[in-house]
Amino acid sequence: MREVGVPHPRLPLPAPGERDDPQAFLAWLGEAIPMVEHLGIREMRQEGERLVWELALVPNLNDKGTGFGGALTAQTTLLGWCWTTLWLRERGHARDVVVAEARQRFLAPVTGDYRLVCEPEGEQGPGTLAERLASRGRGRIALVQQLWCGDTLCLEAHGDYAVLPIA
């Protein structure tokens, strides 16, 4: 049981140049953030610069029988946090990440199981973040998350994620 005000232990970093095992990372995430086990995440995978979640709709239903906007918003924010955290971990950094700004645009109702895709908003984002971390010890990256129900884009979110300086 998590305690208020007590940080969860960090997951050990992967070997240099390697990526985290997605299932091990998801298991740790579920311990670190208790609500994760209720989000319906069935799979997490990395596809180049993209991080993809496959999700079940049932745990995220609203009173109308479609996707609950609050749950979907939480998922987009968390997916961006995961993208940033995994990017850092792949480069050997165990750093704190926070969402600095987030906005969503709902385009169509979510009526079935869906996938969320997260990637940098611009090609320069990862390079700029790496440069800022090296020169200032902190940085930010803009990410975009898209929720797809089949071939229908239902939600697009944008978030800025801040990598905090080492305390």
Tens digits of residue pLDDT in 105-145: 999 999 999 999 999 999 999 999 999 999 999 999 999 99
Phi, psi angles (nearest 5°) of residue 77: -65, -45
Contact between 144 and 118 under an 8 Å Cβ cutoff? The reply is yes
pLDDT at 160 over 80: yes
Q: What CA–CA distances, in Å, run from 112 to 30, 58, 81, 146?
A: 23, 8, 24, 15
pLDDT at 52 over 80: yes
Superfamily of domain 39-101+109-163 in the CATH hierarchy:
Hotdog Thioesterase (3.10.129.10)
Contact between 82 and 28 under an 8 Å Cβ cutoff? The reply is no
SS3 52: strand
Nearest to 161 by CA among 71, 90, 83, 89: 83
Contact between 147 and 116 under an 8 Å Cβ cutoff? The reply is yes
146 vs 119: CA distance, rounded Å: 9
- In the prediction, which pLDDT does 167 show? 75
Total residue length of the chain: 167
Nearest to 126 by CA among 165, 93, 155: 93
pTM score: 0.96
Q: What confidence tier does 66 reach under pLDDT thresholds 50, 70, 90?
A: very high
